[in-house]
Structure 1
Amino acid sequence: MTDSSSFTIVVGVDGSPDSRLALEWAADEARLRNGRLQLITAWSKPPLAWYPEVLETAAGGIAVAPAPEEDAGKLNAEALKFAADKGAAATGHVVHNHSPAAAIVNAAREADLIVVGARGYGGFEGLHLGAVSHQVVNHAHCPVLIFRPKAA
């Protein structure tokens, strides 16, 4: 827990629907508590990958795929704008780490709360809890809220 009077919420941001809902909840909570958000977006470079990746399009043209770091930076910037629009004080961090869970847990060492979505983009459909949220719960140094959307 933080020693300062500001309630700090670390939010894992990956652009998935669950992550967006978690960010929305965390922004509202930070605003209500006069707290602040730390938005964490982790990225890694796949082994033997070359970036920017040059791809040939179906029409025979050339397209350049953005590097993972650029994608992560854009996601984090969008999350920062969203938090600001909701009236929540926020800082954004783009972290190079092969484990998004480790990036979130490390960023939250002095935090009061971690908020993550239940599921991201990876893994198996239909699981109630994703690998990142599972690891965060097992290694966090503060309370963790896993945000799940309401059932349809």
Structure 2
Amino acid sequence: MDEVREVVRVEGGVVVGHDGSTCAQEALRWAARLARRADVDLHVVRTWSMTTAPQPSSWEPGYVPPMTDWEQAVHDELTAHVAAAGLDPAVRVTCHVVHRAPVQGLLAAAEGANLLVVGARGRGGFGGLLLGSVSDQLVHHAACPVTVVRTGAGGRDFTAAEAGSAVVGE
């Protein structure tokens, strides 16, 4: 990674926001099942700042690593979360990390997507709220349909026909 990315744009497919939380991991699994059934790409997006990024391996006391090291640490952590999710190997997954605030980063990534998927609660905020501030903003401002996945909400799986129409808007 030569430059720190501040925006990612995708064309079609499912974008899922991931912040490392349990709810984001469930949203990732849900989005991957839908992407598999609809035969579309899955784009996993993590927004970050230095305060939310894991510490890079090059960090040591008295030395602040370059931003690209922080970005690589975020990408490595995101890749590990995707691997831990145990997704169907047939799902075409691309991981993206964006140095930007969560709402703005996910809105930009979702501009060309067929669907944006996020967890109901992320790492921050008040645990008693049913819908997080990021997911609430995305529901109101995204250019594409948004699905908010609650932790522990099983629901029923889509059939292939339902999944296809849910993603491409037929």
Tell whether the structures are fold-level matches, with TM greater than 0.5.
yes
Q: Superposition pairs for residues 1-152 of structure 1, below 5 Å?
A: 8-46=13-51, 52=59, 54=61, 69-81=71-83, 85-86=87-88, 87-97=90-100, 99-150=101-152
**Residue ranges of structure 1 left out of the alignment (5+ in a row):** 56-66
* Structure with greater strand percent: 1
* Equivalent residues of 2:32, 2:87 under 8 A apart: no
* Equivalent residues of 1:13, 1:75 under 8 A apart: no
In 1, the alpha carbon distance for the partners of 2:77 and 2:150 equals 20
| 1:62-111 Cα distance to aligned partner (Å, 9 max, x none) | xxxxx7534421232124435784131011111000x1111111011111
Alpha carbons of structure 1 residues 53 and 117: separation in structure 2 relative to 1, 3 Å:
farther
Which of the pair has more CA radius of gyration?
Answer: 1
Normalising by the residue count of structure 1, what TM-score does the alignment of the two structures yield? 0.75
| 1:9-32 Cα distance to aligned partner (Å, 9 max, x none) | 000011100000000000000000
- Percent of pairs identical after alignment? 41
**Residue ranges of structure 2 left out of the alignment (5+ in a row):** 1-10, 63-68, 154-170
RMSD: 2.6
Alpha carbons of structure 1 residues 147 and 85: separation in structure 2 relative to 1, 3 Å:
closer
Pairs aligned (count):
131
